[in-house]
Amino acid sequence: MREELREAVRRVLPGVRADLEELIRIPSVSADPGAAGEVRRSAELVAKLFREAGAPRVELLQVEGGQPAVLARWPAPPGRPTVLLYAHHDVQPPGEPASWTTPPFEPAEREGRLYGRGAADDKAGVAAHLAVLRAYGGQPPVGVTVFAEGEEEIGSPTLGAFLERYRDALAADVIVLADSANPERGTPGLTISLRGLASCVVEVRALKHGVHSGAFGGAAPDALTALCRLLATLHGEQGDVAIEGLATAPPPPYDYPEERFRAEAGMLDGVKLLGSGSIAARLWAKPAVSVLAIDTTRVADASNTLIPMARAKVSVRLAPGDEPARAWDARASHLRDHAPWGVQVTVQNREIGRPYAIDAQGPAFDAARAAFRQAYGRELIEWGVGGTIPFVASFADAFPKAAILVTSAGADKDCRAHSTDESLPLDDFEHACVAEAHLLAECASALGGFH
């Protein structure tokens, strides 16, 4: 039975690969209002593919102000659970097309990887779900709802409303979010912790207007020096975050070898790591503060003038277990309390995203461990992601009883999602399709645990 499933996936893969390439050719950039027609065209193609894969019911849905999503449903056979398979069909903008080795919307294979915008993030997810349903000949052993979102890359602005409006259609025992990455090529990963985000813009005012730096410097403070001193208080000497009141989660069991981390981060020789604890703990279980931008006078435009106002954008990544609203307060208090020389400080909140930790216990997680082991021939690694995937918390809120599996459709650390030369390793794409097919079989037989 198990080998038959692998064979069935292999048989459908050439067709799925062609359909994935067709999807990549559609520039469904949700951030570009001018590409709205392409996002719709991409949704229509996804709907057509699942209709042809035998879905008894396929709908193109959106809530007001949102982008078109596709819902394809196979009702559960009697007594069987329902599995929701999520992916998104919108993509990031390509950036400068000339900096791609081959054009972003023309799929190309090189050295076992398929290149193109969306090849990994996350048209691979759509294609993996398609492969699984085709491998089952359109008759999966459990109820299946495929949900292909069209606005993930702009932060899923209407996902909450969508989950509420279509709650009944989306209800499931197990939710598979195939939009994360494997820790390395050939090793399957289950993402069980995600950091949150609470960014802000801090503005410092010191003078009513610019004044001569010779006539007034030495006694009157300038805003830029004050801002630099203020930003310097955000970390301790070793680079640990110095804002009091931010949460830290227990350190993850998986670790990240230092050499590999240094190479992947592109750290220059002699540059030290920030913070303390294992690298995985620093990335996934602790907060991180980074200054992303500063608005001030450009060097080319500088005159001998004390600067009256300067501002910076500060990103704060939050550990699982933290609350963005509380973190916002802690960070604002820190910035106000540490302002040097009595300068005036205002803090404006910007992006927000909740962190999330998944307790990977129960039959659905056991089913996933068995399924991924069979497909990849390696144990599933439970690991974290330092970034934020806000939709995970949205699904958890909407369906508190469902088991949430954040998986990869084959994407690895080298897939360069959101960057130039995005690519998908085709061997792991096959493994991911086989794993998901096994997962449905495991869920069907582990049925008793779900009800």
- Residues at the contact surface with Zn ion, assessed by CB under 5 A: 121-122, 179
Rounded least distance, CB 71 to Zn ion, Å: 18
Annotated catalytic residue within 121, 122, 152, 179: 152
Per the annotation, the verdict on 90 as an active-site residue is yes
Per the annotation, the verdict on 397 as an active-site residue is no
Among candidate residues 319, 295, 316, 317, the one with its CA nearest the CA of residue 307: 295
Identify which of residues 121 and 173 has a Cβ nearer to Zn ion in the complex: 121
Identify which of residues 19 and 121 has a Cβ nearer to Zn ion in the complex: 121
Identify which of residues 82 and 180 has a Cβ nearer to Zn ion in the complex: 180
Rounded least distance, CB 310 to Zn ion, Å: 35
Identify which of residues 122 and 430 has a Cβ nearer to Zn ion in the complex: 122
Identify which of residues 85 and 234 has a Cβ nearer to Zn ion in the complex: 85
Rounded least distance, CB 282 to Zn ion, Å: 24
Rounded least distance, CB 122 to Zn ion, Å: 4
Annotated catalytic residue within 90, 121, 122, 153: 90
Rounded least distance, CB 135 to Zn ion, Å: 23
Q: Catalytic site residues?
A: 90, 152
